[in-house]
């Protein structure tokens, strides 16, 4: 008789009884039999109450369309803009948070603004585009995505916060060949920070 096999099987049964709550013991009418002869059949999955088989029925609000490969909810946002076969290089860019600070903030401290990004209203994106003319730039801004295309560069940037795509401002600085895009952020609790 192998004492090691009996100890491990009995130890697993005792551990299973300790881990299962009294409510689960009442619900589970079936007893699980553990093999006592082989240790290979025991695994960490044998600890605890037996798993109930999940039903494979579609949720009631899900309409099944057999022509669809996947649901629209499964596709990440912004994937429709991405083109992995596009050979254009991605330009260098910086994302900077920007505050609108007045004299009452600097000298009197009348508003509750502090230097953190929670008190920033705008998002400034600086994109370096060497060898690009203003007329070659195509810029498309969505709530969470900035899409920039030029003949030499392509940038698909997922923004850190949702922005107001209608009130953005863009300016191209020819001396440094940099495009500066200022976007107003739309965050959930901005009404608390900016009263």
The full set of domains in the chain, from first to last, is 93-194 (2.60.40.790)
- Rounded to the nearest integer, the mean pLDDT of the chain is 77
Quick one: which of 81, 83, 56, 59 has its CA closest to 71? 59
* Confidence at residue 29, expressed as pLDDT on a 0 to 100 scale: 45
Cβ(185)–Cβ(159) under 8 Å?
no
- CA–CA distance from 183 to each of 19, 51, 119 (Å)? 53, 51, 15
HSE-up (13 A, CA, CB side) for residue 44 = 0
> Quick one: DSSP state of residue 171?
E
Tokens 């300016």 — which residue? 171
Structure confidence by residue, pLDDT tens digits, 80-137: 566 677 788 999 999 999 988 888 877 887 777 778 887 888 999 999 999 999 999 9
Question: For 144-153, what is each residue's pLDDT tens digit?
Answer: 999 999 999 9
């Amino acid at each position: 008789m192998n004492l090691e096999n009996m100890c491990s099987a009995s130890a697993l049964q005792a551990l299973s009884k300790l881990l299962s709550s009294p409510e689960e013991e009442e619900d589970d009418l079936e007893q699980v039999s553990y093999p006592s002869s082989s240790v290979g059949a025991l695994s960490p999955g044998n600890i605890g109450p037996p798993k109930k088989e999940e039903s494979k029925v579609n949720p009631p609000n899900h309409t099944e369309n057999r022509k669809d490969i996947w649901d629209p909810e499964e596709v990440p946002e912004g994937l429709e803009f991405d083109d992995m076969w596009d050979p254009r290089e991605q330009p260098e860019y910086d994302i900077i948070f920007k505050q609108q600070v007045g004299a009452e903030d600097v000298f009197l401290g009348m508003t509750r603004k502090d230097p953190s990004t929670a008190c920033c209203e705008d998002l400034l994106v600086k994109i370096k585009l060497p060898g690009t003319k203003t007329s070659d730039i195509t810029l498309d801004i969505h709530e969470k995505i900035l899409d920039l295309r030029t003949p030499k560069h392509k940038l698909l940037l997922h923004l850190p916060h949702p922005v107001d795509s209608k009130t953005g401002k863009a300016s191209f600085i020819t001396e440094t060949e940099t495009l500066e895009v200022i976007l107003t952020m739309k965050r959930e609790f901005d009404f608390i920070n900016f009263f």
